[in-house]
Chain A
Amino acid sequence: MREMSRIVRTVSHIMFPFVIMFGFYLVVHGHLTPGGGFQGGAIIASGLALLIVAYSRSRVKKVVKKEVLTTIESSGLLMFIGLAFLGIGATFFYNFLANSGIIFGDSVAYGINPGNLNTAGTLPLMSIAVGLEVLAGLSIIILMLAIGSLAGEGSR
């Protein structure tokens, strides 16, 4: 498949930062609004799908390396399990950051409020870890599918 028309490419150029930004918004606000690590990561990966459709696969393949994505995937997973290990002073998965005043350490206000991003302790960090894992994992899947269909084209 060649790259698509100039109109499609321009629109995807404009849209791509917004897609990514929305994805990261969902990841970081996982503990406040609907969404979270998985959903946000999936949206970021769909940004890559947009690029693959708009530009030619071989061109995207040159920019996005599989090895880099694998490393991101692993480090996301390791960050998740590492956070669980850090709580082992009390129990595995203990939320040691909640109400501690450090990062994400505010205590949650009672009653109706607009939501404070700086709460919930390890939860947002775990959301970010899951987000990294999912964005890398799904990107690898999309990339592999694209490369696989490229190989099929070559043999025909």
Chain B
Amino acid sequence: MIFEHAPALIIAFPLLTSFAVPILNRFGEKFRNFFVLLSLLFSLFFVLTLAPQVYSHGVIVYTFGSTSPGITLPSGYSMPIRITFTIDGMSIFMAFIASIVSISGLIYSWGFLKKERVGMDKFYSLLLLMSVGMYGMIFTGDLFNMFVFLEILSIASCALIAFWVHKGETSEAAFKYMVVSSIAALFMLIAVGIFYGQYNALNIAAIASMINYNLLDKIALSLLIVGLAMKAGAVPMHMWVPDAYGQAPAPITMMLVAASQASLYALFRTCFTLFGLRLDVAMVGWIIIILGILSMFVGVTMAIPQKDIKKLMAYHSVSQTGYMLLGVGVGLAVMNDPIAFQTYGMKAMEGSIFHIINYALYKGLLFLTAGAIFYKLKTRNLDEMGGIAHNMPLTTLFFIIGALAIAGIPPLNGFASKFLIYESVYRFNPLLSIIAMVVSVLTLASFVKVFHSAFMGPKMKKNVREAPRAMLLGMAIIAILIIIFSLFPAMVVRTIVDPAVIALANQGNYISAVMGGI
């Protein structure tokens, strides 16, 4: 059965196409674009076929190079030596985000980069590699493998940030990104080395079954938290975010948002699956909460005075990442108290994990609208814009959807997830919840400012028309998903968010899926 191999094929098709793009390129632009889209659609298809399997079986394991995908422990071995993909509810949830974002980013790029003459084969090659890096980080059940995919993701993103190397400050942004991601990757490598030295294992489940939270493990944990929070753009390490998000081409910025979410996923995986209840959960939980609060507040206050539309949105990304850290931190902090965890810890995690997908969608949409404005007006400065609503009505509509969603205005999906976070965090500590609400108000304020200065006002003198169709299609895919999520939040939470939360909270299932009944 081909569906048995779905986890490998999700990665393999984009990888194959990515390597073939320089050859496909010789047969013409349309031909190449068709195959690139086809490979991403294949991945989406396999993600969708994999999802019911995961929801009915709990955890799916795929062992590379073994005689059958399910055999993690060949006879005589007590520890998995082959690379495995371990896919549970959380992984498949993140895979939805990765596939949606990659596909709409690709379609948008057809319009956005139509005028580029050179380097388009490399652009699509790297875009596919970025997608592979995300899928890999999300699916892998092996710590070293996770490091490898993190590096694939970082190198591909770094090259794509510097795509317009001849204009602006892209090289500076790319260099900063490269330095930050190498440091983060090195931290992760040292942590992996510490685990390997102690337990002779690289498999997450194998380490998790043996881990004992001694001093060395604490060092490894802090390295992992710092490294991955750095890649996710949490506040003390957020300096690369505005540059990288601001300078990259808009579709790449959207993919970078999803890439940061993949790092966030790795962070959650480390805390919940690798350590689980062996952690000093209250302390680590509070560390993550404080990172979250700092990111929320500093991000939004830095965003308000910005004049560069993409930089402003980038600072908002920092602030939104804070919400996810806050909710999951609260969930982690009360994990060893079953009653508190059931009453509000679970809800807080539900809220933040729901926020991950909402954020990836509306932030992606906002960056794409900013890209459309940049494509037509050739500027990112808010002072040089005005009256765009007259010329680009559809873009304006998409911007309004995105802006209302990010500000958490009731009918939209941002409200659903933020409300879950406020409600549950209030029962943990009212002050945190109040800070979260204030940040949300400030977010609204700054988007009102953007809306007013860019879209309202008299018609521009320049004759500007609506963005090309491919770009509108890329934005429309995301906007439709946002509307669906807004209309049926309870259904979305029940079908895809709850399994993700349960998967994170249930370390035992993950371990026993790989290690057998230990």
Contact = CB atoms under 8 A, between A and B. Distances in A.
Contacts, number: 53
B22 A92 contact: no
A25 interface: no
Interface string A67-99: 000110111011011101101101111110000
Contact of B65 (A73, A81, A91): A91
A77 B19 contact: yes
A71 B23 contact: yes
A23 to B, nearest CB: 22
B135 to A, nearest CB: 13
Interface stretch (B66-74, B152-160, B296-304): B66-74
Contacts of A75: 23
B268 to A, nearest CB: 27
B63 A81 contact: no
Contact of B22 (A71, A82, A91): A71
Nearest to A94: B65
Where chain B touches its partner, the secondary structure class is helix
Given A81-B15, A84-B12, A91 B66 contact: yes
A94 B16 contact: no
A82 B16 CA distance: 8
Contact of B8 (A70, A74, A77, A92): A92
Interface in B254-287: none
Contacts of B515: none
B279 to A, nearest CB: 34
Tier of interface size on chain A? 20 to 34
Contact of A74 (B15, B22, B65, B67): B22
A92 B67 contact: no
A93 B405 CA distance: 43
Nearest to B11: A92
Contacts of B20: 74, 78
A71 B19 CA distance: 10
Name the residue in A71, A91, A93 with the highest tally of chain B Cβ atoms < 10 Å from its Cβ.
A91
Nearest to B7: A92
A138 to B, nearest CB: 15
Given A81-B16, A85-B12, A88-B5, A94 B22 contact: no
A78 B19 contact: yes
Nearest to A78: B19
Contacts of A71: 22-23
B459 to A, nearest CB: 45
Interface in B405-426: none
Interface of A: 70-71, 73-75, 77-78, 80-82, 84-85, 87-88, 90-95
Interface of B: 5, 8-9, 12, 15-16, 19-20, 22-23, 62-69
